[in-house]
A and B are shown apart, each in its own frame.
Chain A
Amino acid sequence: MLAINNLSKAFKQGERIINVLENLNLNVTGGETVAILGQSGSGKSTLLSILAGIEKPDKGTIALQGIELQNLSEEELTRLRGKRIGIIFQQFHLLPHLTALENVELPLEINDSPNKEKALKALKDVGLDHRGDHFPSQLSGGEKQRVAIARAMVLDPELLLADEPSGSLDEKTGKAVMDLIFDLTVKKERGLILVTHNKELAKRCEKIFSLEGGALHEQTFGKEGS
């Protein structure tokens, strides 16, 4: 489903060039869960940005279901992202002036297929169908993240990217949210790339990589598997 070959990305800081990613390779099949571990500054955010089509690599290829992302224009990437990739952020990032239901329905509207029932179903999948007309300011942290998950899943994307989704939550709520994410991805057989610094969380994925020196190194410490 996702194939990354010899991906490289560098940034200029004054006179210095910092090679954030160097000849990175990754393959993710449909229904597979992948964790990427990395310290701060290891390039996790950069990798995620490239995977989401927000940034373009300097070198290498990245193909999603055979479509090479590095050749697409920004508009094409945006459209593709809207249809095929769901993103879950650490800070939830819900639109504060929209209700929970409206936030979930937003991707459907953007793709020209508004559907309240589908949005409501997505909310139901995360257990929040009864809170549809509440604004984000009226929801707890865990509830907000669940709405964000519903929004990410409503279009049934092939790939789900999660950036420290439980990072802003307490342990219990975080676990509940992660259970939900894994549940949904497995049920719908979607690919999940989870970026985290939490080894215990990473062990829940089928594959674990650590991002070091700009490249991914597969880890083999005991994992839960699906």
Chain B
Amino acid sequence: MAQSIRLAWREILHNKVFSILFLVNVAVGLLGLITIENFKVSFQTVLAGRAKNLLGADLALSSRFPINDLKRSQIKSKLSDKGGEYREADGMSMFSMAKGNKRSRLVFLETLGTGPAPYPFYGHLEIDKRFKFPIDQKTLPQKGSIWVYPEVISQLGGEKLEKLKIGSIEFKVAGVITDDTQQTFEMGSVAPKVFIREDDAKEAGLIQKGSTIRYYYYIKTNTQITKTVLDEIIDLVDDNAVRVRTPEKSSEQVGRVLAYLSDFLGLVSLVALFLASVGLFYLYRSHLGSKRLTFAIYSSIGLPRSSLFKIYLVHVFILGALGSLLGLGLGALIIPGLNSIITYVLPFPLPDTISPKAFLMGSGVGIFGVLLLSYPLILSAIRLRPASLFQEVAEMRSGESRLSLIHFIPYGLFFCGMTFYASNSLKVGGAFLGLFFGAALLCFPIGVYLLKLGEKLSYSASLKWKLSLRYMNRYRVSTISIFLSLLLGSMLLNLIPLLQQSIQAEISMEKKDQLPSLFLFDIQDEQVEDLRSFFNDSSEQGLLSLSPFIRARIVRINEEEVKVEKEKALTREEEREQRFRNRGTNLSYRDTLSDAETLIEGKPFPGTYDKLRDGLPLISVETRYAQRMGIEMGDELEFNVLGIPIVGQVWNIRKVRWTSFLPNFFIQFQSGVLNDAPKTWLAAVPRLKAEKKESIQETLYEKFPNVSAVDISRVVDKILSVMNQMGWALKAMSLLCLVVGFFVLYSLSNHQMNQRKMDLVLLKVIGMDFTSLKSMVRLEFTGLGFIASLLGASFGMVMSFIVSSLFFDGLWVFAWGWPLGSTIVITLLCYVTSSWGTKKALEAKASAFL
């Protein structure tokens, strides 16, 4: 082994240029993966460390109805049966309009309980940087006083905001929250927080029948809440409308949005890894090709092939390890910069160092991946027998023997595994790999046909075209593999930014004039007519999509009970399915489809339900909800509506354009079934000019103080600005891919030229002038690069259209900037690298033959 290490190290030192290129290729290829993995791990670690502070308790139950005493006592006896600490606190949260000096805005109220134990049990609220509640001071704000988030001050009246009217009471602003350990971020969070005493909330008339209130029951206990205990508590509760959360579950929820982003970026980083693999493949193949004579000589003087294999495996291992270290070093430099971009959306800072998990991941992929990629090349290169030393040199110079594809299967499996790991989703990972291999399988026969055709057509063309096309066709496996590498790289480089642009464009400024201005909720039944008249008088179009909102719980699908899922989800698809199953259901009813809906299966409702005439009431289900819940046409669904069982039959399945911001529901009954159920109403206000919107909001608050209004344009702005920030991360990753691509192109052209050096020199000897030779070589590589990048960009556009249709409600925007830009850049890179990479070959002396 020592001999192998020694010889391998000597090999590295004697081939410095190759070794440096190899290291840099590995490092740059890993960089994206390392930074994304580090981000994921750091975020999860910090989140887990803050989990208890985030939840403020060891266990929290929340529901739209108060948790009843029976359930409380059952939980208490389960958690305190062995004695020990057990503290409990209650809380509520709700949206409400608040009026400041100048304007009214939606705020999010959290009540501070007047029970024996102040909540939060962990973490704190820091007020005006003066004290921390409940650590330093356990007393609540005085009656009639509130604590507010800084945004409340800026949105509702500026620094002089001293009073805030919420409900029927004008509260004194007693302090501004300067730190809230329970603060999470939400993309497009609609309202800043206000902390209010529970008794004040009741007195202000905020707690009414039909108000959208969430009730909380918090527990602090020193009994360890294991999975078994948690499952038992969930069984005790036995209600999928009640959320049971531990600090761990709570932090998982908080991290969900960024988890999606990091999955997305993880896929992009795989593009860089793929490109780097291609570069490494050709680089190493070229290097080993130049060593074939050496291997034959080693073999002829008695070095067994197994020893040679070991030496070069160690060689690649060392290079992979050094490359990984370099990548980790570069990652350590980049991470602080990346953190500063993401800080915009994070409620807490991340460490600027590489986590041990990211370190292991980077090293593992760098070493293991490189070994898997390289060992087939080594096997092939050492296959040359010493007998060939006695044959013509011409056979030696031709470069490589055939590669056995079977040996690349382990690397293929490795790459597939990485894809599923990075995307955290069977669907997305599968789609990514499907696109990949699908494109490869499609291109191969097309490529063979085109090359043959090209050679046929070249017979009447000029010499350089003839020689180029003839060469490319005669070495078609090599040509097509280079072409495919460029095409796949270009396709992936285009697919992801195009998807991002489509998503952003849908909710961008250009579409803003089509979005409603306000989204209204908490409209009481008896207010509907007055509200309708108010808006008919105040605006041209009146109210849009006025929809009843009824709280319920789905109990059964056909004969099967809908139970709360307790097992931890493994993939994003499973996570989403669990969330759907484990939540309460909001119902509505309507006669016809809205503008934001399209029927996919079934027919529209035949009219209002008549109990005497009709069978089961009819239900319309949203398509994704149906998929996730396993609901099909004709299924019978049972709901619990405030204790009353309601059964209906699925009549149609529809698609909803949620980005219209119009009220809509997963489940709609036909009219005549739930009309008498206790309900509130939702509505949207069509597009208004800014001043009109302000004045309407003021008047709305005065006349209907309990009705909450969300300013849609502010939400959209917030989403867009967050997406812009995330977009920077995406752009950085795409830039990384281009940098890797540059190395790949250099490796490819270098490899090609090493293969053809003797041929090029021979052409020079026979009489082909330097200029013609140069333009022939450039034509091949640049032409190949241009066609591959153009096709790749086109494929990328097609794929982004397909993915948008499948996953994003068909939002797709034709954006030509990125495809055109990538085609030009890749072609230019091909031109530059082919010139640079071929310089040595073209300038080689013809006297080498003599």
A contact set with B: CB distance below 8 Å: 45-46, 48-49, 52, 54-55, 74-75, 78-79, 81-83, 87, 89, 91-98, 102, 106-107, 109-112, 136, 141, 144, 151, 163, 168
Contacts and interface: CB of A to CB of B under 8 A. Distances in A.
B849 interface: yes
B770 interface: yes
A83 B770 contact: no
B850 A110 contact: no
Interface stretch (B247-255, B392-400, B570-578): B392-400
A95 B768 contact: no
B474 interface: yes
Contacts of A54: 765, 845-847, 850
Contacts of A95: 759, 762-763
B393 A91 contact: yes
Given A81-B765, A110-B763, A168 B466 contact: no
Interface of B: 392-394, 398, 463, 466-467, 470-471, 474-475, 758-759, 762-771, 845-847, 849-850
29 contacts: A45-B850, A48-B850, A49-B846, A54-B765, A54-B846, A54-B850, A55-B845, A74-B770, A75-B771, A78-B768, A78-B769, A79-B767, A79-B769, A81-B766, A81-B767, A93-B394, A93-B758, A93-B762, A95-B763, A96-B759, A97-B470, A98-B470, A102-B470, A106-B766, A107-B766, A110-B766, A110-B767, A144-B392, A168-B392
Contact of B394 (A46, A55, A96): A96
**Is the contact region of chain B dominated by helix, strand, or loop, or is it mixed?**
helix
Given A52-B850, A98-B474, 15 more contacts: A45-B847, A45-B850, A46-B847, A54-B765, A54-B845, A54-B846, A54-B850, A75-B769, A81-B766, A91-B393, A91-B394, A93-B762, A94-B394, A97-B474, A110-B766
Contacts of A93: 394, 758, 762, 765, 849
Contacts of B768: 78, 82, 110
B849 A55 contact: no
Contacts of A112: 463
Nearest to B773: A78
A92 B850 CA distance: 11
A163 B850 contact: yes
A152 to B, nearest CB: 9
B765 A87 contact: yes
A49 B847 contact: yes
A151 B765 CA distance: 12
A141 B463 contact: no
Contacts of B849: 89, 91, 93
Contacts of A46: 847
A106 B766 CA distance: 8
Given A54-B846, A75-B770, A97 B471 contact: yes
A49 B759 CA distance: 18
A110 B474 CA distance: 19
A81 B847 CA distance: 13
A67 to B, nearest CB: 15
Nearest to B759: A95
Contacts of A75: 769-771
Contacts of A136: 394
Nearest to B395: A137
Given A49-B850, A97-B471, A78 B770 contact: yes
Contacts of A82: 766-768
A88 to B, nearest CB: 11
A82, A107, A136: which has the most chain B beta carbons within 10 Å?
A82
B253 to A, nearest CB: 61
A55 B466 CA distance: 29
A185 B394 CA distance: 26
A96 B399 CA distance: 11
Nearest to A163: B850
B398, B471, B850: which has the most chain A beta carbons within 10 Å?
B850
A134 B771 CA distance: 30
What are the 4 tightest A-B residue pairs by CB atom distance, in nearest-first order? A82-B767, A97-B474, A45-B850, A49-B847
Nearest to B762: A93
Nearest to A48: B850
Contact of A92 (B392, B475, B767): B392
Contacts of A144: 392
A72 to B, nearest CB: 13
A92 B759 contact: no
Contacts of B765: 52, 54, 81, 87, 93
A91 B764 CA distance: 17
Given A92-B392, A163-B850, A109 B466 contact: yes
B463 to A, nearest CB: 5
A89 B474 CA distance: 24
A92 B758 CA distance: 12
B591 to A, nearest CB: 73
A26 B762 CA distance: 27
Nearest to A92: B394
A83 B767 CA distance: 7
Contacts of B770: 74-75, 78
Nearest to B761: A93
Nearest to B467: A109
B815 to A, nearest CB: 42
Contacts of A79: 767, 769
Contact of A107 (B398, B767, B769): B767
Contact of A109 (B394, B463, B771, B845): B463
Nearest to A75: B769
B398 A55 contact: no
B844 to A, nearest CB: 11
B392 A78 contact: no
A141 B392 contact: yes
Contacts of B763: 95, 106, 110
A214 B770 CA distance: 31
A161 to B, nearest CB: 9
A141 to B, nearest CB: 7
A218 B422 CA distance: 77
A100 B650 CA distance: 75
Nearest to A81: B767
A55 to B, nearest CB: 6
A206 to B, nearest CB: 23
Contact of B475 (A89, A97, A163): A97
Contacts of B764: 78
B779 to A, nearest CB: 16
Contacts of B850: 45, 48-49, 52, 54, 89, 163
B802 to A, nearest CB: 39
Contacts of B471: 97
Nearest to B771: A75
A102 B470 CA distance: 10
Contacts of B394: 91-94, 96, 136
Contact of B767 (A45, A49, A78, A141): A78
A45 B848 CA distance: 9
Contacts of A49: 846-847, 850
A151 to B, nearest CB: 8
A29 to B, nearest CB: 24
B393, B762, B766: which has the most chain A beta carbons within 10 Å?
B766
Contacts of B766: 81-82, 106-107, 110, 151
Nearest to A85: B767
A129 to B, nearest CB: 20
A82 B770 CA distance: 13
B831 to A, nearest CB: 23
Contacts of A106: 763, 766
Nearest to A83: B767
Nearest to B466: A109
A110 B392 contact: no
A204 to B, nearest CB: 21
Contacts of B769: 75, 78-79
Nearest to A106: B766
Nearest to B765: A87
A168 B392 CA distance: 7
B499 to A, nearest CB: 42
B475, B769, B771: which has the most chain A beta carbons within 10 Å?
B769
